[in-house]
């Protein structure tokens, strides 16, 4: 099976050139963020957060 390279989260969050600039909210597929894992770290304003998938498939963000 060929390996699929997932774009970086920053690339996924950028609106495409043809996306409307006003009122556009980017939508990210969690499979692209997590890959085969169950958690990712997100840095925001100098603080690192952890976004993880629970056993029930829900998302939890913690500092």
Instruction: Note the pLDDT of residue 23.
Output: 83
Phi-psi region of 18 (alpha: psi -120 to 50; beta: other; left: phi over 0): alpha
- Give the number of other CB atoms < 10 A from CB of residue 52: 15
pTM above 0.75, yes or no: no
How much is the average pLDDT of 3-27? 61
Q: Contact, 44 vs 58, CB < 8 A?
A: no
Return d(Cα 61, Cα 54) in angstroms, integer: 11
| Contacting residues for 21 by C-beta, under 8 A, at least 6 apart | 15
């Amino acid at each position: 099976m060929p390996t699929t390279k997932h774009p970086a989260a920053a690339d996924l969050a950028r609106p495409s050139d043809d996306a409307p600039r006003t009122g556009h909210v980017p939508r990210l597929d969690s499979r692209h963020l997590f890959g085969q894992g169950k958690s990712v770290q997100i840095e925001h304003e100098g603080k690192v957060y952890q976004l993880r998938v629970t056993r029930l498939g829900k998302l939890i963000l913690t500092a």
